[in-house]
Chains A and B, each alone.
Chain A
Amino acid sequence: MAAVIALKGVSIGYGADAPPVLAGLDLEVERGSFVAIVGPSGVGKSTLLRVVAGLHRQRAGTVVLNASERPQHRPFGLVFQDPRLLPWRRVERNVQLGLEGLPVGRAERQERARTALKLVRLEEYGTRWPYELSGGQRQRVGIARALAVDPDILLMDEPFGALDAITRRGLQDELKRIHRETGKTTLFVTHDIEEAVFLADRVLLLSGTPARVAQDLDTRNGTSAENVERIRAGLAGDYEI
């Protein structure tokens, strides 16, 4: 199967003189796979997603993307670590943001926003202002906004971090179902190893400065307790430094 995302020797840093956050990173992601990325805080997980989404230029190396160009879709759907809603738009108009400028009529735009809001169980909240939502609800609106553009590649940065266990579980099932049904390539950052193993076919552990891929585990066939322990040990090792 073709790689939909291919990074070769990628280095990334902020500012010209600062040491790189990621250096010489090689990563290939197969079409349709679900990849979880774990790693200690500050290692560069969000930065990696930003580079894949084309929001940050790499210093060196190449980023090749094979997302298909479909007229009524965007190649990426990005869920930020913070909800990042436009405070001057009501919830439904926030969800429609990515559809604007695409050849999608008004009625269809509204329909797609409604469907996306339903998926995150906020269909009743379309006409609210963002400030009228709880933190977790805002985060779910951010998820709906990414799903509404029906992207080839879903990039999710700790999307369920702010949610209670039950809502989180519900959305994990939902996401798993969406992935099964649509086959969207998904990059999913999380701090929760169980979540990573439950959702993903593949778990990457980033660690070190500059960060590299310290572990790359196949978790397709459920996973062994042993695998979980290896990731955990990897994370713990990093914290001891």
Chain B
Amino acid sequence: MSKRTAALLSAAGVIVFLLAWEGLGRSGIVPQRLLPSPSAVPATFIAEIKNGQWQAMVLASLSHYLSGLALGSFLGIAVGTAAALWPRFNAFQAGIVRMLRPIPAIAWIPFAIIWFGVSEASAAFLIALTVFWINYFAAYAAVASVDKDLIELGHAFGQGALIPRLFKIILPGALPGIFAGLRAGLGQGWMTVVAAELFGIPGVGMRMMEASGLLATHIVVLYMITIAVLYGISDFLFVRVQSRVLAWQR
């Protein structure tokens, strides 16, 4: 299957999905209030832009998302790499990881609010937490599976000390795995943005919560689509960067 055919088929799938949804609303099988039809979304979009809500909410969410993502990804990669590099540190942190890991990020919401208030920092903290674990495990596995022969090569050619070994052999070798973790974090991060904001931190999630309180389901749908599009854009951009950086892979 060519790339073009795949793209066309994918577009056709989305169109069929939207048509079926619209049809379901118009036929009257499902009442408008329970399921707003997609054709109502453009008008809602214009209204939300005019009153400035859309821009404000998207900017707020983006700012939580980016700061949480940066912090969580960096720490996840750093701790995961350190654990894979040093057996002693690995043993030391293994118990803590087993204890904390099964707790989902949103379970920390009460503490986030106690510590940081209903604020930007709270949302960023929760996102960072989600993203941390994904990157931690991805980086750990990637670093642990770097080809030992290449590390031996480094020793043979004077690159055996920690800094050159880390930056010339281990991290480049682990990069494909680290990128896979970053990409997964990119998606999970959006989910946490919404979950965190449902508790009243300004952003897309909060606006959805408000709208659903007023039974303005068409607004809820608008922001669902907004999230999907934002995720789509960030993933697309990420893949472009990735294919640049990993050009050495066949």
Contact = CB atoms under 8 A, between A and B. Distances in A.
Interface of A: 53-55, 74, 76, 78, 80, 82, 84, 86-90, 97-98, 100-102, 129-131, 145, 149
A88 B172 contact: yes
Q: Which 7 A-B pairs have the closest CB atoms?
A: A98-B157, A131-B250, A88-B248, A78-B156, A88-B172, A97-B157, A84-B153
Given A98-B158, A102-B158, A86 B175 contact: no
B164 A131 contact: no
B188 interface: no
Interface string B226-250: 0000000000000000000001111
A182 B41 CA distance: 78
Contacts of A131: 248-250
Nearest to B247: A129
Interface in B135-178: 149-150, 152-153, 155-159, 164, 168-169, 172-173, 175
Contact of A87 (B156, B159, B248): B248
B169 A86 contact: yes
Q: Which of B153, B156, B248, B250 gathers most chain A CB within 10 Å?
A: B156
Contacts of B250: 129, 131
B164 A101 contact: yes
Nearest to B250: A131
Interface of B: 149-150, 152-153, 155-159, 164, 168-169, 172-173, 175, 247-250
Nearest to B155: A55
A231 B248 CA distance: 44
29 contacts: A55-B156, A74-B157, A76-B156, A78-B156, A78-B157, A80-B149, A86-B150, A86-B153, A86-B169, A86-B172, A87-B248, A88-B172, A88-B248, A89-B248, A90-B248, A97-B153, A97-B157, A97-B159, A97-B168, A98-B157, A98-B158, A100-B158, A100-B159, A101-B159, A129-B248, A129-B250, A145-B157, A149-B157, A149-B158
B159 A84 contact: no
Contacts of B159: 97, 100-101
B158 A84 contact: no
Contacts of A100: 158-159, 164, 168
Contacts of A76: 156
Contacts of A80: 149, 153, 156
A76 B249 CA distance: 30
A197 B249 CA distance: 41
A36 B228 CA distance: 65
A80 B151 CA distance: 13
Nearest to A78: B156
Nearest to B153: A84
Contacts of B153: 80, 84, 86, 97
Given A98-B158, A101-B159, 20 more contacts: A54-B155, A74-B157, A76-B156, A78-B156, A80-B149, A80-B153, A82-B149, A84-B149, A86-B150, A86-B172, A87-B249, A97-B153, A100-B158, A129-B247, A130-B248, A131-B249, A131-B250, A145-B157, A149-B157, A149-B158
Contacts of B156: 53, 55, 76, 78, 80
